[in-house]
Amino acid sequence: MDSNIRENDLSKIVDADRDHIWHHLIQHKPFETGAPRIIVEGKGMRVWDQNGKEHLDAVSGGVWTVNVGYGRESIANAVRDQLIKLNYFAGSAGSIPGATFAEQLIDKMPGLHRVYYCNSGSEANEKAFKMVRQIAHKRYGGKKHKILYRDRDYHGTTIGALSAGGQDERNAQYGPFAPGFIRVPHCLEYRAQWDLTGEAYGKRAADAIEEVILAECPDTVGALCLEPVTAGGGVITPPEGYWERVQEICKKYDILLHIDEVVCGVGRTGTWFGYQNYGVKPDMVTMAKGVASGYAAIACLVTTDDVFDMFKDDASDPMNYFRDISTFGGCTAGPAAAIENMRIIEDEGLLDNTLAMGARMIENLNALSEKHAIIGQVRGKGLFCGAELVSDRASKEPAPEKQVQAVVADCMAQGVIIGATNRSLPGLNNTLCFSPALISSADDIDQITDAVDQALTRVFSA
């Protein structure tokens, strides 16, 4: 840490922030009497705030982003060098880092061939939705335009992406939404909707998607958009049998499978992409956060050649191509950072580390659940873990949100930043979330779960 970080050094910054910054995702009334948090510096797994206080970051920049950790000079250098050579040109032309990263990415995604660059997860998902709509117009007289999304999934913050939003609290007060987005049930067996378990449950949850397709008429349904592991909706790992059946259903009704890898993509679950854990063959994949670990803004929509070819089959028709642009999709900093980010993951063996440290985190959380009855279920894949808190294990009554937030606050006071589902699902914002950087060590994981242990003891014995 820079030894100059002392409370008073930054008091002017704190004032400017309090006076002028509209922070994301937060009620500002408390800032009338208290100071907003300002994160000043980061190195490895740790960040320092305006008071010089050190925190172990168990959520990779708050929202599952900084996969390779803070302070990576090699990424900064790669971006700097690229910016001096060429910072920008619109995406109607190519760039050296754009083509280089696309080739490297496609190498990790057998079956997929084309990369469309933009800047955020929401935007990448919007592009996918637009492609589905255009394919419907080009091929099916506009009929096959409906997009299915799942209860508890999230695909972004724009009105289009919220129209595919399965989190009712997140969507509340922002409607009306775009038509043609249809919800299918979630697949969380812990909050079971059918009296089945294991693989039978997984197949039943997927069959529920087929029921929706049949009710809507298959010739009106163009795509199904799913997270491989639901993130902000409660870290939901799919039950056995689910994905195989989902894939069959999409094939049967000629429905494009769009996987939202904005959180899981580029290593988070211990494979390059979350869907690769489940043998899925998607038609479209979107990704953002971990692609460049937050060192530059970049998002990608990756498609098969079959999807791509639908947009170049009749060059004599002036409307027959994907008539879309993302201005900042032409920034070269994104792919320059992404190339170096991917090299780091490969050279440092971070996928293997993610599997090993993810297993340790699940083991530690399971040990905590022996001690703390408030933990109803531990879930996770790689370094993407959740612990759902319940007041009563038998009834699965969700723990009150105030107490869940008190656990997060207690960890923060201990210098460990963890997350919790927040303004996502009415009455069900009760899952603690852990997504430390893929560079986590065993000591880091133990420090995180020790802090949770202490927080649970304090909050629930008070």
Ligand X SMILES: Cc1ncc(COP(=O)(O)O)c(C=O)c1O
Burial class of 196 by CB neighbour count within 10 A (0 to 12, 13 to 18, 19+): middle
Residue 222, classed as helix, strand or coil, is strand
The nearer residue to ligand X, 61 or 121, going by C-beta atoms, is 121
How many CA atoms lie less than 13 Å away from 181 in the CB half-sphere? 23
44-83 mask for ligand X (x: CB under 6 A)? -------------------x--------------------
Kindly report the length of the chain: 462
For residue 176, whether the previous peptide bond is cis, meaning omega lies within 30 degrees of 0, is yes
Indicate which single residue of 132, 263, 284, 389 sits in contact with ligand X (rule: CB under 6 A).
263
Tokens representing residue 212 in the block: 């929706």
Which has the closest alpha carbon to 341: 435, 288, 266?
Answer: 266
Instruction: Evaluate whether 280 touches 274 at the Cβ level (below 8 Å).
Output: no
Indicate which single residue of 47, 288, 336, 416 sits in contact with ligand X (rule: CB under 6 A).
288
Q: Give CA separation, 428 vs 7, 22, 190, 405, in Å.
A: 37, 27, 12, 12
Which has the closest alpha carbon to 255: 227, 215, 211, 220?
Answer: 220
The nearer residue to ligand X, 121 or 334, going by C-beta atoms, is 121
Q: Single out the segment in contact with ligand X by CB under 6 A; choices: 51-59, 107-115, 150-158, 214-222.
A: 150-158
Report DSSP state, residue 164: T
Count of residues of this chain found to bind ligand X when the rule CB under 6 A is applied: 16
Spatial separation of the C-alpha atoms in residues 383 and 362, rounded to whole Å: 9
Q: Tokens 């933009």 map to which residue? A: 118
Q: How many angstroms separate the most distant Cα atoms in the chain?
A: 72
Q: Single out the segment in contact with ligand X by CB under 6 A; choices: 193-201, 225-233, 324-332, 390-398.
A: 225-233
The nearer residue to ligand X, 120 or 237, going by C-beta atoms, is 120
Indicate which single residue of 104, 157, 320, 454 sits in contact with ligand X (rule: CB under 6 A).
157
**Beta carbon of residue 55, minimum distance to ligand X (angstroms, whole number):** 21
Indicate which single residue of 262, 383, 399, 456 sits in contact with ligand X (rule: CB under 6 A).
262
**Beta carbon of residue 211, minimum distance to ligand X (angstroms, whole number):** 24
**Beta carbon of residue 121, minimum distance to ligand X (angstroms, whole number):** 2
| 292 part of the interface to ligand X, by CB under 6 A | no
The nearer residue to ligand X, 262 or 425, going by C-beta atoms, is 262
The single-letter code of the amino acid at 281 is K
The nearer residue to ligand X, 57 or 260, going by C-beta atoms, is 260
Spatial separation of the C-alpha atoms in residues 22 and 12, rounded to whole Å: 17
The single-letter code of the amino acid at 1 is M
What pairs with residue 88 in β-bridges?
A: 331
Q: Tokens 């989902």 map to which residue? A: 246
How many CA atoms lie less than 13 Å away from 215 in the CB half-sphere? 10
Q: Single out the segment in contact with ligand X by CB under 6 A; choices: 79-87, 95-103, 149-157, 374-382.
A: 149-157
The nearer residue to ligand X, 91 or 294, going by C-beta atoms, is 294
Which residue is nearest to ligand X, using beta carbons? Answer: 121
Tokens representing residue 211 in the block: 């029921």
At how many degrees (to 10) do helices 333-347 and 350-371 cross?
A: 70
Q: Single out the segment in contact with ligand X by CB under 6 A; choices: 79-87, 137-145, 260-268, 321-329.
A: 260-268
Task: Specify the DSSP element, H or E, that contains 197.
Answer: none
**Beta carbon of residue 138, minimum distance to ligand X (angstroms, whole number):** 26
Tell me which residues in 337-366 interact with ligand X (CB under 6 A): none
Indicate which single residue of 210, 227, 340, 410 sits in contact with ligand X (rule: CB under 6 A).
227
Q: Single out the segment in contact with ligand X by CB under 6 A; choices: 79-87, 154-162, 366-374, 427-435.
A: 154-162
Tell me which residues in 433-452 interact with ligand X (CB under 6 A): none
Indicate which single residue of 132, 184, 226, 231 sits in contact with ligand X (rule: CB under 6 A).
231
| 155 part of the interface to ligand X, by CB under 6 A | yes
Tell me which residues in 89-148 interact with ligand X (CB under 6 A): 120-122, 125
The nearer residue to ligand X, 153 or 210, going by C-beta atoms, is 153
Give contact residues for ligand X (rule: CB under 6 A): 63, 120-122, 125, 154-157, 227, 231-232, 260, 262-263, 288
